[in-house]
Amino acid sequence: MTERQIRLFGDPVLKTPSDPIGEIDDRVRGLVEDLLDSVRPPGRAGVAASQIGVNLRAFSYNIDGDIGYVLNPVLVETRGEAELVDEGCLSVPGLWYPTPRYPFARVTGINLDGEPIEVSGTGVLAQALQHETDHLNGMLYLDRLGKEHRRAAMKEVRESSWF
């Protein structure tokens, strides 16, 4: 398929909770191809379907060359104490802010054959699993920022050339 354009902050699809995927058909298979193509460029850890304008529960990830996807992902476990980690987002280009994330995360879902799958990990993978699941719930990382950082981030968004 093709790498899709990333939707930017302000697009309503980014604040809309995504619908579960029912039947796995050619449309869903094409979505997965687009998600995988869209996460391959350097510097991308994950892409949620909502970020490419599709309101379905699916995301792709690319961590240290390990590329995959999850359909109907559910964040089923986090472990450890939430830590502030520098986080950015393709939908909010150029901004990085300390965001509370757990050091371990586990997501369950299905693959294109409808079989159960699980993705879990620490570090950047844990951060990506939490970040992408948030997207599918209509939440951006900016929503998790503390009051002062959120105020600064919103000022930076308003002053950005892309907004």
Token code pair at residue 9: 């902050």
Maximum pairwise Cα distance, the chain: 45
CA 79, 109, 137, 35 dihedral sign is positive
Model's pTM, two decimal places?
0.95
Catalytic-role residue among 3, 33, 118, 132? 132
Return d(Cα 42, Cα 10) in angstroms, integer. 24
Strand pairing class (92-101; 58-63): unpaired
- Confirm whether 132 is a catalytic residue: yes
pLDDT digit of tens for each residue in the chain (163 aa)? 578 899 999 999 999 999 999 999 999 999 999 999 999 999 999 999 999 999 999 999 999 989 999 999 999 999 999 999 999 999 999 999 999 999 999 999 999 999 999 999 999 999 999 999 999 999 999 999 999 999 999 999 999 999 9
β-bridge partners, 58: 71
Of the candidates 43, 80, 68, which has an alpha carbon nearest to the alpha carbon of residue 119?
Answer: 68
